[in-house]
Amino acid sequence: AGLFAPSVLALAQRWEADPNYSHGYLVPLISLALAWHAYQKAGAPERGTPALGVIWITVGIAIHLAAVLGSWPLLDFPAIVLVLHGVAVAAGGREWARHFGFALLFLVFMFPWPTAWMARAALFLQEWVSIIAASVFDLFVVCYRRGTTLKIAGVEEPLVVAEECSGLRQIVAFLALGALLGKLSGRGVGYRLVLLALAVPVAVLANVVRVLLMGLGAVFFGTGWIKGWLHHAPAAFS
């Protein structure tokens, strides 16, 4: 706890400031619940392997040191996993520690991706949401797309597909949700991988629906309502 406390506090600040990771507060709690479930299944530890456990812990501490010195927050994920895995191995041996594998790996969802990756992914998704939405609009009303800006016939102001309409926030949360549901389902690896893979198209589709609803609202009611609290209504629906 003392080793990783500063890192966790920094993560909490990121969760507070970045809406893409506002679900981060839930991840440690879910991992703890998964670990408790695994403990009930595995039973109390009977015979540990302290020497092997110390090796895992030492490697984890070395990676944590590299994360701190290099300012690479994502490196703290393997660091904390290795340290906790080492504690489990020391307490109950390798076979006993394996019961906690998913609970430890689930912690990856509380770590933010590098900002450069997020920016590229957001731009890519914004572009595709814009393309699909413009194509659907064009079936019913003339719609001209330039980048992520949509100009709809009869609407004074253009619609801009911003980063929050890209689906990136939903993808991050849906990946965590898909992994959790796959684990709780008790189904095979293939089923779990399908749930994870569906996170991306479902998030994109949901945001296409969001943009379409905003466009229809702009056609029938103008764009004034978009600037108020109703701006979030299509997102809540989709």
pLDDT for res 225: 65
pLDDT category at 96 given cuts 50, 70, 90 is very high
- How many H-runs (helices) and E-runs (strands) does the chain carry? 9, 3
pTM > 0.85: no
186 CB neighbour count, 10 Å cutoff: 7
159: enclosing H helix or E strand: strand 159-160
Cα separations in angstroms, 199 against 104, 121, 144, 152: 21, 14, 29, 29
Alpha carbon distance 104, 120 (integer Å)? 28
- Taking alpha carbons only, the member of 139, 83, 141 closest to residue 107 is 83
Give per-residue pLDDT as tens, 102-154: 999 999 999 988 878 878 888 888 888 889 988 988 888 888 888 888 888 87
pLDDT for res 41: 92
DSSP-derived letter for residue 151 is E
- Taking alpha carbons only, the member of 137, 127, 136 closest to residue 160 is 127
Q: Is the pLDDT of residue 211 over 90?
A: no
Alpha carbon distance 35, 67 (integer Å)? 25
pLDDT category at 235 given cuts 50, 70, 90 is confident
Percent residues over pLDDT 70 in the chain? 97
| Residue found under tokens 């879910």 | 30
Alpha carbon distance 68, 176 (integer Å)? 26
Q: Is the pLDDT of residue 231 over 70?
A: no
Cβ(126)–Cβ(161) below 8 Å:
yes
Is residue 111 left, alpha or beta, with left meaning phi > 0 and alpha meaning psi from -120 to 50? beta
